[in-house]
Amino acid sequence: MAPMGIRLSPLGVAVFFLLGLGVLYHLYSGFLAGRFSLFGLGSEPAAGEAEVAADGGTVDLREMLAVAVLAAERGGDEVRRVRESNVLHEKSKGKTREGADDKMTSGDVLSNRKMFYLLKTAFPNVQINTEEHVDASDKEVIVWNRKIPEDILKEIAAPKEVPAESVTVWIDPLDATQEYTEDLRKYVTTMVCVAVNGKPVVGVIHKPFSEYTAWAMVDGGSNVKARSSYNEKTPKIIVSRSHAGMVKQVTLQTFGNQTSIIPAGGAGYKVLALLDVPDMTQEKADLYIHVTYIKKWDICAGNAILKALGGHMTTLNGEEISYTGSDGIEGGLLASIRMNHQALVRKLPDLEKSGH
């Protein structure tokens, strides 16, 4: 009953009720829409999975390169700090296809956190694939100051916009973990790659212990160059340490006894061996060959750099590698620069079989 002396008309009650509904709708419509959209997708995004808007607008590849360089260097700082502390908290994630321990350390985890969240904060609408799991409870907001370094501006004068939904970023927060645990520091790198519609376009390889960074953008510019000459007839071939004997047997038949095999760790290090790198710890090679399954975050950055400099990275059968879909490739790889790549593919027809 209304208080004495106050009479509520049916019209007033109806107006008051409608106003209340309007306020409730305004407060909760956004929340409910979000919950229903997640219900339609099945669940909330898991930690580390891509969180890409349906229409993410565009991103500037020049800005992405700047952030990729910063991310690789920030990750490298963590890698170096953990190694120098000599407290790695080493453990195994399982076995590789070859039966070896797939190792992980605190260096991998902390580097991954820095790199992932720096890139994710700067480009929230871009898909990011990373080797290590991203723990949402360990989230870190790292704000980019939006400053593009002078060396990048010098090489790439104008922005290069692409649709955000066409971009996939591949992060390797610590390449050559096995060598890292053995304190073989020269092989260790951190890497970031930006692929557009599956094609590698931006690549960054950083060496934490010499603090050297190589970067390049396809149809843009780079801070690294190819060497002046390569030996195609009796090349120096850089391979994984565990594959050296296997590759040597086949390549000696192909190139003769003058061929040199260089065992090394880390895909990033092996790509840099093909380039003119001002690092005294870096070995030099003419070809990079891998004969077994390999993950895309291991090779995408090197593929982009080689492609920007006119080089090639393909499967052993000469097929281009797509950086979408699954996170690995089965067909091994062959990387070269300033050589007849397809002629080399034809010379090495049995390597993939040897790898299996």
- Which residues are annotated as part of the binding site for Mg(2+)? 131, 172, 174-175, 298
Which amino acid makes up residue 165? E
With beta carbons less than 8 A apart as the criterion, state whether 140 and 306 touch.
no
Q: Take residue 284 and report the two structure tokens written for it.
A: 């030099």
With beta carbons less than 8 A apart as the criterion, state whether 87 and 134 touch.
no
Q: Is 108 noted as a catalytic residue in this protein?
A: yes
Which amino acid makes up residue 229? S
List binding-site positions. Answer: 131, 172, 174-175, 298
Is residue 170 classed as helix, strand or coil in its secondary structure? strand
CA distance 351 to 255: 13
- In eight-state DSSP terms, residue 353 is H
E runs forming strands in the chain: 58-60, 91-95, 101-104, 127-130, 161-163, 167-175, 189-196, 199-207, 212-217, 221-222, 225-226, 236-240, 260-264, 275-276, 287-290, 294-295, 312-314, 328-329, 333-336
Name the active-site residue from 105, 130, 168, 177.
Answer: 177
With beta carbons less than 8 A apart as the criterion, state whether 274 and 286 touch.
yes
Name the active-site residue from 105, 108, 286, 315.
Answer: 108
Cite the active site residues.
108, 177
